[in-house]
Amino acid sequence: MNAKQLKNALLQHAIQGRLVPQDPGDEPADVLLQRIRAEKEQLIKEGKIKKQKPLPPITEEEKPFAIPDSWQWVRLGNLSTYLQRGKSPKYSSSSSLSVISQKCVRWGRLDISLAKYVNEETISKYSEDRFLKKEDILLNSTGTGTLGRMCIFNNELYKCVADSHVTVIRLINKYISNKYVTYLFENKTIQDIIISNSSGSTNQKELNLEIIKNFLIPLPPLAEQQRIVARLEELLPDVEAYGTAQERLTALESSFPQQLRKSLLQEAIQGRLVPQNPADETADVLLQRIRAEKEQLIKEGKIKKQKPLPPITEEEKPFAIPDSWQWVRLGEIVTINPRNSLSDDLEVSFIPMNLIKDGYGNSHTSEIRIWKTVKSCFTHFAENDIAIAKITPCFQNRKSAILSNLKNGFGAGTTELHIVRIFTKLLIHKYFLYIFKTEMFISQGMKSFTGTAGQQRIGKDFISLFPIPLPPLAEQQRIVARLEELLPLCDGLLSAGGQA
């Protein structure tokens, strides 16, 4: 049972007389009702309240559930000395009189900070009974999501009236606990009755004043009302604390697969996911081989010579790596945003941003286009290039993938991609894709954002200058194999948690 269900159960027990025991010594509710009627008659004689139109007797069919013998069913209007909706005011930017609207009425509290003000010239047009009095009950009688919400007016610092969306219920408080009535209305059974008796469109439900007056109240003896309120005020804070703890646990369960993925990737790039093998060729030897291969490709005109990148400083290294690894700038070992030179009539793949799946996977689809229709004003790529979304929020959402199964091995796509092309077999593509999905890469990229809000991007220089922790080739392979074994287990945890 969750906290909401537990609260509903407590409130249901309360209004059915099952939360606290009945006391045979209590004055029964029928005698209490006689006192209320006598009090109202006296107030009418004194001219303090207006005589109300008689309400119809209660039929057996109307009673939604059984109540103890010492209780009585009574219509809300018969318990009230004043029950009236507010009226639409003329507003002012400031005034001595605040107007309570439905957004001010919260369950169990009044948010006076959301109140507007009445035009000073119209204050004199309000009759005295319209000014809110301490212990008045405020009921939202219109709205969607706010209909039926209720609180008690206890703010004596402000002179207030209600607007036409709020109904004011003034009880004879020496015989009826207004806290008991508010707990009654918060009960799900009662809220369901309110919704079923409302009228209007889906966007604006309304509770007619006559329905509110005729609303049935299960009335306990006054002493039992007080015991019910005391017991609820003892139990509900514990229910609320339980609900808070439950929400935290749910949030933790929901975020755990995501946090686990982040942790796995972080362990991987710090050299702690798989053991090092002393027999592996070290990353410094690997780098020498990559540089030699790059120089040869430059000589052959297959890739362009690049401007030398600055050495990596100690301050740039975010964590320690194994002795067999090396820090290297990404631009030293890949080419970034290359261009294709193809026949105009060649069929190629076309990939807009929406065809690249976000998250920690490696998935995309594509469309088929003729090269001449996409060669200009689009990003170029080739088979096994790695695409990284450069614009917010796609970048933070990890829209990145190894582009595969391209038509004729080539393609073009959205301009909001950076393309990383690995030109050597001495690097494992998936190891680099996993780096681009690490929290380290994402957080550093966000710090480098340029552009206006909603149109911020990472630049090419961020990609080129980014320091990569480079393991030996064999360890890259072991890391990828281990991640491909473990990451699907995170997906299983996500499914078990009921998440999409």
* pTM of the predicted protein model: 0.60
Cα–Cα distances (Å) from 494 to 1, 221, 253, 363, in that order, read 22, 52, 9, 18
DSSP symbol at 457: B
Q: How much is the pLDDT for 493?
A: 65
DSSP symbol at 21: -
Alpha carbon 278 to chain centroid, angstroms: 48
Cα–Cα distances (Å) from 418 to 123, 294, 389, 391, 442, in that order, read 64, 21, 6, 10, 14
Task: Return the number of other C-beta atoms located less than 10 Å from residue 349's C-beta.
Answer: 26
- CB-based contact 109:186 (threshold 8 Å): no
The sign of the torsion formed by the CA atoms of 112, 113, 115, 119 equals: positive
Strand intervals (E) in 246-346 = 326-329, 335-336
Closest by CA position to 53, among listed 10, 22, 14, 83:
83
Q: How much is the pLDDT for 499?
A: 39
**pLDDT tens digits, the chain, 500 residues: what are they?**
788 889 999 999 999 999 999 999 999 999 999 999 999 999 999 999 999 999 999 999 999 999 999 999 999 999 999 999 998 888 888 788 899 999 999 988 999 889 999 888 888 888 999 999 999 999 999 887 889 999 999 877 778 999 999 999 999 989 999 999 999 999 888 888 888 888 887 677 889 999 999 999 999 999 999 999 999 999 999 998 888 888 887 776 677 888 889 999 999 999 999 999 999 999 999 999 999 999 999 999 999 888 999 999 999 999 999 999 999 999 999 999 999 999 999 999 999 999 999 999 999 999 999 999 999 999 999 999 999 999 999 999 999 999 999 999 999 999 999 999 999 999 999 999 999 999 999 999 999 999 987 789 999 999 999 999 999 999 999 999 999 999 988 876 655 444 33
Domains and CATH numbers, the chain: 3-244 (3.90.220.20), 274-477 (3.90.220.20)
- CB-based contact 416:391 (threshold 8 Å): yes
Q: How much is the pLDDT for 259?
A: 87
The rounded distance, in Å, linking the Cα atoms of 294 and 312 is 20
User: What SS3 state is found at 388?
Assistant: strand
> 268: Cβ–Cβ under 8 A, 6 or more apart, which residues?
274, 434, 479, 482, 483
> 4: Cβ–Cβ under 8 A, 6 or more apart, which residues?
243
Q: How much is the pLDDT for 252?
A: 66
The rounded distance, in Å, linking the Cα atoms of 21 and 228 is 9
Closest by CA position to 293, among listed 338, 326, 334:
334
Alpha carbon 241 to chain centroid, angstroms: 20
Residue matched to tokens 């009445």: 118
- CB-based contact 282:472 (threshold 8 Å): yes
Cα–Cα distances (Å) from 99 to 85, 111, 287, 290, 321, in that order, read 13, 11, 73, 74, 64
DSSP per residue, 125-150: GS-GGGS--TTEEEEE-B-SSSTT-E
Cα–Cα distances (Å) from 60 to 63, 66, 216, in that order, read 6, 10, 12
Amino acid at residue number 68:
P
The rounded distance, in Å, linking the Cα atoms of 82 and 52 is 9
314 burial level (CB within 10 Å; 0-12, 13-18, 19+):
exposed
